[in-house]
Amino acid sequence: MEIPRHWRLQKQRYGLVGEICPHCNAKIFPARDICPECGGEAKEPYRFSGRGAVYSYTVMNNAPAGFERGLPYTIALVKLDEGPTVTAQLTDLGEKKVKIGMPVEMVTRRLKEDGDERGMLIYGYKFRPVMG
Amino acid sequence: MEKVYIAGIGQTAVGELWERSLENLSAEAILGALKDGGRPKLDALYVGNLLASAASGQANLGAKIADNVGLTGLETTTAEAGEASGAAALRLGYLAVKSGYVRNALVVGVEKCTDTVGSGAESMIAHGIDYDFEAVQGLTPLGQAGLLMARYLDVYKPPREALGALPILAHTNAANNPNAMYSKAISSETYMKAGIVSDPLNMFDAAPYADGAAALLLTSDEKISRKAGKEAIEIRASSGSIDALALHERPDALAFSAVTVSTQKALAQAGVGWKEIDLFEVWDAFSIYGVLSVEACGLAAWGEGWRWMMEEDHSPMGELSLVTMGGNKARGYPLGAAGVYQAVEAVLQLRGGAGANQVHGAKIALTQALGGPASNVITHIFSRS
């Protein structure tokens, strides 16, 4: 069981909350202790819009423990509109063919099953194609 | 500062070695290196390993491995730098001997992947990537390589078969390496028809995780090699550099900046340029990593690494020979031991003992190990002394 480490990341996982640097206004995700742009200390929370575009993607055919049920699944590097890139699964794809550059938006989904059927379910962000 | 020589080498065959243990594999490599280098009094043992805690439930490897071969009383430490752990152990040994505090040191890289199988194995191999923001999404090293390859193909548009040049060369070379996991050359057609692992990466783009151990005897005493009737091989450079752990933290994921820095530092230390280097044990855990590495270390322009791989001769007869004993792809990829295998193979080449794959007149070799997608890069340069 890994409850504490997932609990402390709730805001980041559920709300895509990162940081904005008080020194240079760089938007940072995931949160870190030192701003990668200016080297100042970064502490101020910032909620990202959840919109972005696919920078790259791959389809996983072998899964680590806790992900087997989702096979095969698509993972992307998503470049957020505000600048940073995140690693996330793509979801709700239906028949849609993924392309680099495709606009996507964040949704909250089940990420992983921790342990057996009595284990914890871990939720967090995934991205789906922008509708319409 | 002392000069650091490699006086002895040892290695086990690489493969899925179900019947053998961590310490048993280590023993074969260590005893091989001591037999080769003439059994001087040892001061220290440095272990390179990635998975033992997860796969075998075993930490404190130095005591286990040293005691098993009767090396009581010496000091030991295990180095962990992701898949570059073997190279990190070599660097620890190098620093210790270079400083003069340690005269004779053993370096052993050992990996025992097959103590855990199935999805548990995929999970532990993912321990080297960012747990909170990569692994939690179901990403693994295979997936990271797939992401980089998809982006590379999209941006630079090389012909798909160009990525096959390095794996095909690795398999050709491994056919003459008695310790290699695979001994069969593959054709371009076989490469192109291979099953997809993490799209667009196919089975032949990825090196096979394997068990194995390799060892080096380091010394500051050049006479030790002469006594054993071997040419001493000098370690001319040892350098490390890191990048962001997670791919998403990098401004340009296709630029392996830690490869650039680590290579430049090593070349400057050794006082040599690429023109003087005869062989390059480039890190081919994934075919795309080889391509990105040769771009980052200045051998090919950005976006042209695939062409450099495909159009120039990198066989043992070529201008700059690559993966001369089969690389991770075909020798087999014993993760935290692989960096030590690279060094053993470089020494074989510089001694003129590489058999059918001998690089004629080889004088200088460069080896480079990557932890993750060049998150932690360790480079060594070796030369005949």
Per the CB < 8 A criterion, the answer to whether B355 and B176 are in contact is yes
DSSP B156-194: H---GGGGGHHHHHHHHHHTT-TT-S------HHHHHHS
Check whether residue B155 and residue B250 sit in a common domain. yes
- The answer to whether A4 faces chain B, any CB pair under 8 Å, is no
- Nearest Cβ partner of A59 from B126, B149, B199? B199
Claim to verify: residue B197 and residue B90 sit in the same structural domain: no
For residues B252 and B142, membership in a common domain is answered with: yes
Contacts A64 to B, Cβ<8 Å: 119, 122-123, 126, 135, 138, 140
Give the per-residue pLDDT at A116: 66
Nearest by CB to residue A77, choosing from B140, B201, B253, is B253
Same domain as B182, residue B62: no
With 80 as the cut, is the pLDDT of residue B15 above it? yes
Residue B195, SS3 per DSSP: coil
pLDDT value at residue A132: 64
Residues B58 and B105 in one domain: yes
Q: What is the nearest CA distance from A2 to chain B, expressed in angstroms?
A: 11
Give ∠ CA A84-A88-A93 in degrees, rounded to 5.
Answer: 120
B245 and B223 inside one domain:
no
- Sequence letter at residue A53: A
Range of the domain at B18: 5-117+210-233
Instruction: Determine the Cα–Cα distance for residues B253 and B260; give it in Å rounded to an integer.
Output: 13
Identity of the residue in A58, A70, A124 whose CB atom sits nearest the CB atom of B143: A58
User: What CATH number does residue A17 fall under?
Assistant: 2.40.50.840
Question: A60 vs B140: CB contact, 8 Å cut-off?
Answer: yes
Structural domain total, chain A:
1
Contact criterion met (CB < 8 Å) for B147 and A58? yes
Report if residue B331 sits inside a domain: yes
Tell me the chain B residues in contact with residue A87 when contact means C-beta distances shorter than 8 Å: 130, 133-134, 137, 139, 246-248
Interchain contact, B138 vs A5, CB within 8 Å: no
Instruction: Collect the ranges in chain A with pLDDT lower than 70.
Output: 1-2, 115-118, 132
Same domain, B161 and B215: no
Q: Are residues B318 and B333 in the same domain?
A: yes
Contact assignment for A73 to B201 by CB distance below 8 Å: no
Query: Of B110, B44, B104, nearest to B71 (Cα)?
Result: B44
Closest CA to B214 of B312, B90, B374: B90
pLDDT tens column, B198-256: 999 999 999 999 999 999 999 999 898 888 888 899 999 999 999 999 999 999 999 99
Average pLDDT, chain B: 96
The pTM score is 0.97
- Cβ under 8 Å to B: A residues 96-115: 100, 111-112
Rounded Cα distance between A60 and A39, Å, is: 36
**Which of B134, B142, B248 is opposite residue A62, by nearest beta carbon?**
B142
Of A57, A63, A86, the CB nearest to B150: A57
User: In terms of residue numbers, what domain contains A59?
Assistant: 3-129
Instruction: Quick: pLDDT tens for B343-363.
Output: 999 999 999 999 999 999 999
| Same domain for B214 and B200 | no
Q: Which residues of A touch B123 (CB under 8 A)?
A: 64-66
Residues B272 and B332 occupy one common structural domain: yes
**What residue in B sits closest to A73 (Cα-Cα)?**
B138
Lowest-confidence pick of B18-22, B124-128, B197-201: B124-128
- Asked if residue B13 belongs to a domain, the reply is yes
The pLDDT, as a whole number, for residue B385 is: 81
Co-location of B29 and B173 in the same domain: no
Q: How far apart (Å, rounded) are the C-alpha atoms in residues B242 and B254?
A: 15
- Which amino acid is it at B144? Q
Residue of chain B whose alpha carbon sits nearest to that of A86: B248
ipTM tops the 0.90 cut:
yes
DSSP string of B62-92, one letter each residue: HHHHHHHTT-TT-EEEEE-BTBTHHHHHHHH
The C-alpha of A115 sits at a distance from chain B's nearest C-alpha, in angstroms, of: 11
Q: How far, in Å, are B244, B257, B336 from residue B372 at the CA level? A: 10, 13, 11
* CA distances to B40, B281, B350 from B278, in Å: 31, 10, 9
From A131's Cα to the closest Cα of chain B, the distance in A is 23
The reported pLDDT for the residue numbered B229 is: 86
Both B226 and B283 in a single domain?
A: no
Amino acid at B171: H
- Report the number of distinct structural domains present in chain B: 2
